[in-house]
Structure 1
């Protein structure tokens, strides 16, 4: 059993004039990726009457897939592929940006408490220029000794999601009964991350607080999660084979090189003057005051891609 790396979160504003504060565990300096998972935001439970909820105007994405998963509340999704969907608790909404998409995200008027996660998957070269797309899936709960599992992507506890992924991936919500342990058989070629939503929860012998992510390197064929508390706990389990391609993330764009990011940013700015929105298209029906988030200025230094750092105890790849 290897060491578990604990990645803490930092609070950041989610873009737009009414910025909602979210807790971000990926990317961080000490860990950029878990498999192809390159971005993990955790938010709520948040009183919408106090905070104003989520209102993110149309903004662009490239080279990734977005995974939206709610515990409480409801979010309206609109994108430039013509998709208008509601994100509800227990329902997976996955948007494939491919070569370019724009979308907006707004909590609905009936939402009083907003609570969930927003996750990004980096697409490999073979898929990152594909057309935009959208998938919706409602995973059935699977009972396991000590708790319950819902499989968003990949396979776990005898269930397999029908949603296509472009690298081997796992995403699941795991609910642990009070004072219970759940042992899950997992793919030993995967690295795994456990994000605690309601806890604390121990991953093997390492205790993780709410909004912390525990990282386990490849080589384990099972993971044990323990809830020491007297009420149900909940985690998101993420996994995948180590992603070996360089990943350059800037703003909402995922690419490979500085030059790509410069061009992709310019395409977004140019799209404001094009009837069809250019590369990213146009989002119809968004009713906010700001119709497009402007791209921030590029930094004065050259952007450099990241590779996932080595697992705990492995210093050979640090250089």
Structure 2
């Protein structure tokens, strides 16, 4: 087991909100197919500007939006317009290419949640893009309340499965529990797991994990034993079978080579930013905000992110 600590990253333009990023990390690129974990808030939207992301592209991945507090509007190039609130999950499958925008509505004063990405395997990453929105099912395990937004978990009264579409075995859930409580989650031993602490502090299989940290648990465990400290906790549990493919991730693109990323960037800049081909793979988003141009490519060859497995 290891503990991943976050780094602060500005997200957006001039009034960029700051997110705490624990994945990818120098110690680990993925947990299952989860390849990106941004954790933000609680922020006062009036002061921070909230989430204000104009149209931008994605390839080769799925985005999962999960809120603890707040309200965000999603718009994308396949025509989706969807508000999301706590207890609901937005899942966007980029596949061969999509663009979208996400903005706080301002009707709810606090914004707090996580933004997650899932890497698509090579056999799936060229599929047409699509979007889905669901109410996530709930279960209890001992003193804990769980909301399962991806995959399957078994609770005290049975098993629930989230209705979200996945292409590799995955798990995603929000967990809340009272101070001083303890509980044990039965998990798939073929999965590796991550437990992100949003509030409080917990022991994960005996290892202390503090607020904003991500505990990594290697495959082979059939249970996760959680002990809560002297404050209530909120956790995000992520899991999946180890993702064995090499990935090249840069900006909002997920590919397999430097040249592929260069081509994605060029296509976004020419088709959308310069408006040469708005009917290209990224399409257009009906949105009043400014399109986000891609940054300049680094002056080095992008290398695959793959770390040795335990």
TM-score by length of structure 1 reads 0.93
Number of the residue aligned with 1:304: 303
Kindly state the Cα deviation for residue 279 of structure 1 after the two structures are TM-superposed. Answer: 1.5
Number of the residue aligned with 1:227: 228
Number of the residue aligned with 2:283: 281
* Equivalence map 1:99-118=2 (5 Å): 99-118=96-115
Runs of 5+ in structure 2 lacking a partner?
none
Q: Is contact 2:136–2:163 with CA below 8 Å preserved after alignment?
A: no
Distance 1:88 1:27 in 2: 26
Kindly state the Cα deviation for residue 277 of structure 1 after the two structures are TM-superposed. Answer: 4.3
SS in 1 for 2:309: coil
Kindly state the Cα deviation for residue 174 of structure 1 after the two structures are TM-superposed. Answer: 1.1
Q: 2:9 aligns with which of 12, 27, 50?
A: 12
Distance 1:29 1:277 in 2: 38
Give CA deviations for 1:7-46 in whole Å, capped at 9, x if unaligned.
Answer: 0000001122321100000001111100100000000000
Number of the residue aligned with 1:202: 203
SS in 1 for 2:173: strand
Q: Is contact 2:59–2:98 with CA below 8 Å preserved after alignment?
A: yes
* Equivalence map 1:93-242=2 (5 Å): 93-157=90-154, 158-230=159-231, 232-242=232-242
Q: Is contact 1:65–1:97 with CA below 8 Å preserved after alignment?
A: yes
CA-based RMSD of the aligned residues comes to 1.1
Q: 1:70 aligns with which of 67, 70, 82?
A: 67
Q: Is contact 2:28–2:307 with CA below 8 Å preserved after alignment?
A: yes
Verify: 1:258 aligned to 2:258, yes or no: yes
SS in 1 for 2:9: strand
Runs of 4 or more above 6 Å deviation: none
Give CA deviations for 1:109-132 in whole Å, capped at 9, x if unaligned.
Answer: 212100000000000011100010
Give CA deviations for 1:226-278 in whole Å, capped at 9, x if unaligned.
Answer: 11124x21100000000000011000000000110010001101112235342
Kindly state the Cα deviation for residue 87 of structure 1 after the two structures are TM-superposed. Answer: 1.5
Number of the residue aligned with 2:294: 295
Distance 2:136 2:56 in 1: 28
Distance 1:87 1:223 in 2: 30
Q: Is contact 1:144–1:182 with CA below 8 Å preserved after alignment?
A: yes
Number of the residue aligned with 1:315: none
* Equivalence map 1:3-82=2 (5 Å): 4-82=1-79
Verify: 1:247 aligned to 2:247, yes or no: yes
Distance 2:254 2:33 in 1: 12
Give CA deviations for 1:260-314 in whole Å, capped at 9, x if unaligned.
Answer: 0010001101112235342200001x222x2x11111111110011114434xxx
SS in 2 for 1:278: coil
TM-score by length of structure 2 reads 0.96
Distance 2:85 2:257 in 1: 36
Aligned residues: 304
Kindly state the Cα deviation for residue 162 of structure 1 after the two structures are TM-superposed. Answer: 2.1
Kindly state the Cα deviation for residue 143 of structure 1 after the two structures are TM-superposed. Answer: 1.6
Runs of 5+ in structure 1 lacking a partner?
312-319
Q: Is contact 1:18–1:54 with CA below 8 Å preserved after alignment?
A: no
